Every structure is written in structure tokens, then in C-alpha cells.
Amino acid sequence: MSYARTTYEAGLDIDYAIELHARHIKLYRHLRWICSLVFLVSGMAVFSNVAALGGNANWIGAVVALVAIIDHLIAPSSKVAQHADLKRQWCDLRSEKDRHKLEALDKRISVLTGADIHIISALEKPSYNANLRRHGKESYIRRLTPWEWFVSVLA
């Protein structure tokens, strides 16, 4: 027996993608804020009494260096822009979904899903659950792992 996909399910997919990208935007904004905070605090430490830190100065320097490396590798500012652009495209598709047939919707969904952008897997299930709650389908909600819960709280 074959299963026929409905326009409602395509709409669910669109809303899920919007939720997923919104969570990525929030996560990367929070990461950018945390990195900026660490850099500001470490900059103030240079002008304060570093000698009072004693042996902890090496550890604090290592943490600051690690945050700088993570900030450079992740580049949260550029990720925010990429996810904001994709979220806008998904929102445009949602606003136009009533004017398209299912085949055309699926084709555009496929194009947007194939965009070359990093998706954090720990945000997929929380986004899925939020989308189901929004549509009144609480019985399908999945339990989060501790890691997924933690990343979801950060976002």
C-alpha cells in the first residue's frame, strides 16, 4: 500500500525548517554574546591586577585562548546571517504554499533542504517537538537526551 503525502504535511515540514533555523539563529547569537563577554572580561583582566590571580592566571589564559579558537572556528556572526537568510526563504515559501500544488512545494522544499549549511543535530529534535506542539500534535513528541536539552536551553 502506498502512502500519499498531503499539503498539510508539507506545511509541517516548512514550519519545522523555520523553527530549526530560528533555534540556530538564537544559539549562534548566544555563542557570539558569550565569546564577546569572555573577551571583554579577559581584556579587563589585563588592566587589573593579574598578579593577584597567582597560579590561576595560566588556566584563565588557556580558557581565553580556547574561547578565541572556538570563536574563530565557529564564526557565530556569519552563521547567524546564513540561518536568517534561510529562515526568510522558508517563511516566503510558507506564505506562498497555498498557491502551489504539492509537487511544486516538495520541489522547493527539496531545494531549500539541500542548502549547504551546517545543521546542529542536537537542535533537530527540540525543533521537531516545538513544531508538533504548535500544531497540536503533542502525542508525537519525542523525549530529549540530556545533550539535546542542554543545547536547546542555550538556544
Q: What is the pLDDT of residues 27-72, one digit of tens each?
A: 999 988 888 887 777 766 665 665 566 666 667 777 777 888 888 8
Please report whether residue 132 resides in a domain.
yes
Residue 2 covered by a domain: no
- Say what the pTM is: 0.71
Contact at 8 Å (CB) between 29 and 84? no
Instruction: Tell me if residue 142 falls in helix, strand or coil.
Output: coil
Residue 37 falls inside a structural domain: yes
Residues 6+ apart with CB under 8 A from 118: 79
- Does the pLDDT of residue 8 top 60, yes or no? yes
| Residue 64 in grid coordinates | 581565553
Q: Indicate whether 150 belongs to any domain.
A: yes
Confirm if 77 and 25 have CB atoms less than 8 A apart: no
Residue 47 domain-assigned? yes
Q: Which of 7, 11, 8, 24 is nearest to 93 (CA)?
A: 11
End-to-end CA distance of the chain: 41
What is the mean pLDDT of the segment spanning 109-134? 88
Average pLDDT taken over every residue of the chain: 84
What percentage of the chain's residues is helix, strand, coil (to nearest 5)? 80, 0, 20
CB atoms < 10 A from the CB of 60, how many?
Answer: 14
Residue 91 in domain: yes
Domain tally, the chain: 1
Task: Tell me the residue range of the domain where 148 lies.
Answer: 7-154
Q: Is the pLDDT of residue 131 over 70?
A: yes
Whether 136 maps to a domain, the answer reads: yes
Cβ atoms of 137 and 38 closer than 8 Å: no
